[in-house]
A = this chain, B = another copy of it.
Amino acid sequence: MSTPSDNMPPGGTWPDLAGRIEGQVHKLPIRVYYEDTDFSGIVYHANYLRFAERGRSDFLRLAGVHHTSLFEGEDPVAFAIRRMEMDFLKPARIDDRLEVHTRYVRASGARIDARQVIWQLAGTGAPQALWQADVFAAVLDTRGRPRRLPVYVRDALAPFVSVPGAGEGA
């Protein structure tokens, strides 16, 4: 029986599985599958939030912050989304190739905020922005009370935190 190990170099195989950090922006490729669309022919609106969460998770992963260590470490902490503001600019469709761009605009105190844009990669021509959002999250302890971001998380993200306005968008 064929197994995954057949063609795998030790230590890795799918180099882009978690996307890439370029400058202060994390970029994650997403393919639109059947599961993402609805009968009107376009991507169901709530699914952009799934795509965006994948981007935030993989940005943390590449920055060295893992959900399991956050949750199960000596000093357990969770992120809870408090507010989202989002614009739906253009619809995505089946088979589209998308790219989720994530910037962390704040990672300090008891807050971690992101600005995200989902782009459609056209076969030719310029990419188009489909969806953009501001995401505001709180840092919580295991009892759900606000607490400060652990120092190792703050330090891991510090090189990537950009000030909005100084730059512009995700």
Contact = CB atoms under 8 A, between A and B. Distances in A.
A126 B2 contact: no
Interface residues of A, number: 70
B94 A13 contact: no
A141 to B, nearest CB: 13
For chain A, what secondary structure do more than half of its interface residues adopt (helix, strand, loop), or is it mixed? mixed
B34 A44 contact: yes
B127 A3 contact: yes
Given A29-B14, A39-B42, A4 B84 contact: no
Contact of A119 (B3, B86, B170): B3
Tell me how many chains of this kind the complex includes: 4
B81 A45 contact: yes
Contacts of A45: 49, 53, 81, 84
Contacts of A119: 3-4
B1 A169 contact: yes
A39 B41 CA distance: 4
Given A34-B53, A67-B94, A13 B39 contact: no
Nearest to A18: B31
A7 B33 contact: no
A91 to B, nearest CB: 7
A69 to B, nearest CB: 10
